[in-house]
Amino acid sequence: MNIVFIGPPGSGKGTQAKRLADSNHVPHISTGDILREAVRNTTELGKQAEPIMASGGLVPDDLMIGIIHERLQQADAASGFILDGFPRTVVQAEKLEKVLVGNGHGDLQVLHFLVPDEIIVRRIVSRRSCPSCNAIYHLENAPSKVEGVCDRCGSALVARTDDTEEAVRKRLDAFRKQTLPVVDFYRQKQSLKDVDGNGPVDQVFERIEKSLS
């Protein structure tokens, strides 16, 4: 099970990737989570990535490829993985193929999430996250039991610096310009399927399972 989830920010691919990974006992590899952890820990990677992420830009190809290459070499990815947020450019997609061949991984299945822009903006500006355990909440659809407090660990919830409407729309523009060519790249290889990402989480998950079967 070597799967790539492609979709704009806020399309729900992270939530669905975690669920699919848990049910199939493979790692969910989120480049966003890796980068945010690096920023929190003020690592060299975090220092490079923080201003780019805050402005809604995309982290350079070479930096991302190195992160993914290192992650896929870990033992838990030997039987498969779900990549969330990578590749975002055709260069990354081409280099990912080389990495997979070098690591002995098989072919990819690619799912492309489709969600209207206005729904995405509404989803993201209402999103809150826990800086301690990375739990995600939504003010409308999945609020915490106590407002502003994480159900899991009790930490104060925060809005990410890149979750403003201005930054979201910039990220959507960047996605269209840089990542939609990746959709065409995989479509030409006949390894891509479109998935309607709008609707209840369970309903979307059923669509995913149907696409993969």
As a whole number of angstroms, the distance between CA 168 and CA 172 comes to 6
Known catalytic membership, residue 18: no
As a whole number of angstroms, the distance between CA 120 and CA 205 comes to 18
Q: Which amino acid is at 192?
A: L
Token readout for 149 is 């407090």
Known catalytic membership, residue 207: no
Known catalytic membership, residue 13: yes
Known catalytic membership, residue 176: no
Phi and psi at 107, nearest 5°, equal -70, 160
As a whole number of angstroms, the distance between CA 28 and CA 103 comes to 17
Return the SS3 of 184: helix
Q: Which amino acid is at 78?
A: A
Q: Which of 18, 71, 160, 187 is catalytic?
A: 160
As a whole number of angstroms, the distance between CA 104 and CA 80 comes to 11
As a whole number of angstroms, the distance between CA 87 and CA 176 comes to 13
CB 114 within 8 A of CB 195: yes
Q: Which of 123, 127, 128, 207 is catalytic?
A: 127
Q: Which amino acid is at 163?
A: D
Known catalytic membership, residue 19: no
Closest CA to 170 of 81, 80, 76, 53: 53
Q: Which residues are catalytic?
A: 13, 88, 127, 160, 171
